[in-house]
Homo-oligomer: A and B are copies of this chain.
Amino acid sequence: MDITYHPIGIIHSPFHDIAAMPIQPSGALGIRGEVEIYPQFAAGLQDLDGFSHVILLYHFHRVQEAKLRVVPFMDSEPRGIFATRAPKRPNPLGMSVVRLLAVEGARLRIENVDVLDGTPLLDLKPYVPAFVHATDVRVGWLERVQAQVRTHRSDRRFQ
């Protein structure tokens, strides 16, 4: 079964190289970027300006192959790909929650951007904490290292 999508826009960021990047939005505080929505989709942005945060779903366009086990940026042991956010996924879908600073026509000014410049955007959703019910959260192998996400940077391992 083939599922074919087409980008609705493109993400612009200060990151032109996959190394030395923040690895999650919480490691990218204050870093600004823009989302350029293609004109044919601009009408879908109505009402978005009432939201402070948006979920970007995008295609990791620089990924060449999938791996089922990877050593994540914040670890030294191989982990199952679905227990990580690493990009070499069977379907290389990325997800980031960013702050929405402004909607200017079909351009979104955003902050806390951990995305490579030129990344194709597939979907944009409002971030609504009340839609998630998550109590007693456990984060497995990340428990020990998750605080590092604020300072840890990417390298070339997923090139």
Chain A residues proximal to chain B, CB less than 8 Å: 1-8, 24-26, 29, 41, 43-55, 57, 59, 68-69, 78-85, 89-91, 93, 95, 97, 99, 112, 120, 122-134, 136-143, 146-147, 149
Closest residue on chain B to residue A93 by CB atoms: B123
Q: Determine the distance from Cα of A1 to Cα of B7 in the docked complex, in whole angstroms.
A: 7
Given A50-B139, A85-B125, A97-B133, 6 more A-B residue pairs with CB atoms under 8 Å apart are A3-B4, A3-B6, A29-B133, A54-B82, A93-B122, A99-B134
Q: Determine the distance from Cα of A149 to Cα of B130 in the docked complex, in whole angstroms.
A: 8
Q: Determine the distance from Cα of A127 to Cα of B137 in the docked complex, in whole angstroms.
A: 8
A52 B137 Cβ-Cβ under 8 A: yes
A48 B123 Cβ-Cβ under 8 A: no
B8 A90 Cβ-Cβ under 8 A: yes
B129 A25 Cβ-Cβ under 8 A: no
- Check A68/B44 contact, CB under 8 A, given A6-B1, A90-B8, A126-B142: yes
